[in-house]
Chains A and B, each alone.
Chain A
Amino acid sequence: MDLHVTALELGKMIKEKKIGVREALDEAYAAIDNGGLNAYTNLCPEFAYTQADAVQRGIDKGELTSPLAGVPMSVKANISTKGIETNCASKMLSGYIPVYDATAVKKLKDAGAVIIGKTNMDEFAMGGSTETSYFGTAKNPWDLKHVPGGSSGGAAAAVISGEGYYALASDTGGSIRQPCSFCSVTGIKPTYGAVSRNGLIAYASSLDQIGPIGRDINDCAEVLKTISGHDSYDATCAKLDFDIGHEVKNLRIGLPRQYFTSALEPEIAKKIYDAAKVFENLGARISEFDFSGDDMTDYTVSAYYIIACAEASSNLSRYDGIKYGYLKEGQGLVESYINTRSEGFGIVVKRRLMLGTFVLSSGFYDAYYKKALNMRNLLRAQWNRIFEEYDVVLGPVAPTTAYRIGENINDPMKMMLGDMYTVAVNMAYLPAAALPCGFDRNGLPIGMQLIGKAFGENTLINAARAFQQATDHHKKFPDADAVKTDRIQYDKGGKNNAI
């Protein structure tokens, strides 16, 4: 079977009985077995084959009509899946088995999704490379010595390599978009409130959002259509009709000048300008603009880290070893808490919890946290003004292509600044799509980002679709033979033994 099909193409093949659901699943597991990417923290073959048989029966009876029915897919390790270990790539939640499905997972299962496993990520989504995963770093299929990005690095690596045909992931400050850029796949970070967060294990609740990663924008659009909508289990979930599929004419596209400075690799800048040319040739109107304030990126990244860490310090206080998760007993309750948290969390998580606690603590709250909230309001107002003049903003996803494993892990500033083009979207509650736009001189993928106004996903999707119809960057795949090394051993239950 040709592995280089999209999820919708595979769904069509299944409907037309050119391939069975079990057979499609066999192919995905074979790709995982041969891949050596460490893209998964755990697999669930028993669950998957049972689900595959049920979905096949549903399709045969005409009860399952979704174009995604029967397509093998993955779920990031921080999104709850009933009966399937959901460990957040952390020792703290290793062995944790949710007793309910996240709303987005339930919607996909109702549509006939076949979950093959949970994808590797940075511990509690804190990182941009998967190097903080308790289960070891996932690898970039384009060059195994490089990171796949993060935090959803496993998801992006899996999708481009046929280890599942689309993925459900999450984005707090770029965690869907940056790995898409590093691995040459397409992803959408939806507007805050467009997709229910029920069942998403919280990192920073006002920034987190679940979204799709796929091989092209049509796959992502179909997944987004399936998972979006109001959910009574998430009070921040918007009650509105989510419409995808309108024509967009005379698109006004803006390029922020401050995104194209010396901080951005020139090869990436060139590919983004090339992409702007493609849009121009398609009839869009392109112009450049300035943010108000030259230091806007520094303000935005600073405010993002303050808010994200503050919310994390609150959200992760629930890990006490009592109701679920890792437990290391001590002499008395407080010592048990300390032992459990000190052994259960990795060092990056600990540092972010300490930073978050610091900015919320007495004497520093006004100086840091309150200023960051003010900054967030300013940022939102600024983006609202930008969208009075433009339909879509085009820019880079990351300042570099995928870096080597170990290159940046000990430099938190480099890791923070790696998010400089993505965090504003989360801070301003906006939607954005990341899509492939070329390769650098080393053959590593380059991605671009389209940012839309709140609940403007239809415009983003149509712009992305027009670009992908005019280009073929998204149709390129890494050489599968080149990555058949260093096999990751999963045990019979699907547990990753790479620790």
Chain B
Amino acid sequence: MADVVEVKRLVEKSGLTPEELTTLITLVLTHGLAFVLEEVAGREMDKDALANRAEELFAGTADRLAARRAQVEAE
């Protein structure tokens, strides 16, 4: 059961309690790791930086949607 030993090592290294770890795993499973990490990063930004980051995400999503639509329509 080498995996169990590795999990034990990682849990101890993280310093998280079992309850905190359960919360983290639940959030990641429910929302996805990338979503959770972006939310965490956002909480550390001030209002202007957060507003700029939101605009950056909106613009990136708009660009990808348009590019992928064009690609699919051309297939």
Q: Are A and B part of the same complex?
A: no
B interface, CB within 8 angstroms of A: none
